[in-house]
Chains A and B, each alone.
Chain A
Amino acid sequence: DAKTTQPTSMDCAEGRAANLPCNHSTISGNEYVYWYRQIHSQGPQYIIHGLKNNETNEMASLIITEDRKSSTLILPHATLRDTAVYYCIVRVARNNAGNMLTFGGGTRLMVKP
């Protein structure tokens, strides 16, 4: 699975949009971009995923560049409860073997009042 690069940490003001970037320049055509977050002492929480098109759900929006070498997770109105470590992961949806979610260091997002 392709490696991802994320900033180590980011701050965001409460109520503002949080834009979390991720570089995945070696992504291949059949690899999806997944985002998870982990609030302290809890298990990772699935946020959103996409292949080529931009995606939106009740939690966030995912913007994938046309060349698919980078993406941005957008939390439209960040709250204090969005403070967490955000992981960007690229993976192939394998059919016959294990589902290799490979977590890196992620971005520590701090939402401030």
Chain B
Amino acid sequence: ETGVTQTPRHLVMGMTNKKSLKCEQHLGHNAMYWYKQSAKKPLELMFVYSLEERVENNSVPSRFSPECPNSSHLFLHLHTLQPEDSALYLCASSQDPRNTIYFGEGSWLTVV
């Protein structure tokens, strides 16, 4: 138990579906992150939020849309994804962007 909870743990969606991944942190942190881990590739940073403002968007396609309604919650809205978007999506948080990052267990996404 890392204090960062992701739901759902597994998601299968069609290319025309709209779905969302949810992340909640119980650590009182002010920064939250989305990372993507594809098969046999290193983790890739997607988005960074600090105090609910997006501070980093790492050239991620617009079919991925993040939302941070408050410092404890982070969403990743998914729309018209491609099969190559199938991956492990990891949420993480830290006290602020300077401090240690703690990861959730991840959401396994399969696009069919």
Contacts and interface: CB of A to CB of B under 8 A. Distances in A.
A43 B48 contact: no
Given A43-B90, A103-B42, A105-B42, A98 B98 contact: no
What secondary structure prevails in chain B residues at the interface with A? strand
Nearest to A36: B103
B106 A99 contact: no
Nearest to A104: B42
B48 A99 contact: yes
Contacts of B105: 42-43
Contact of B33 (A46, A96, A99): A99
B93 to A, nearest CB: 10
The range of chain A's interface size is 20 to 34
B45 A100 contact: yes
Contacts of A101: 43, 45, 101
Interface string A76-113: 00000000000000000111111111111100000000
Given A94-B97, A100-B45, A43 B33 contact: no
Interface in A21-55: 34, 36, 41-46, 49
A103 B100 contact: no
What secondary structure prevails in chain A residues at the interface with B? loop
Contacts of A41: 88, 106, 108
B90 A98 contact: no
Interface of A: 34, 36, 41-46, 49, 93-105
Given A93-B98, A97-B48, A97-B55, 16 more contacts: A41-B88, A43-B90, A44-B103, A93-B99, A95-B97, A95-B98, A98-B45, A98-B50, A98-B55, A99-B31, A99-B97, A99-B98, A100-B45, A101-B43, A101-B45, A105-B42
Interface of B: 2, 4, 6, 31, 33, 42-43, 45, 48, 50, 55-56, 88, 90, 92, 94, 96-106, 108
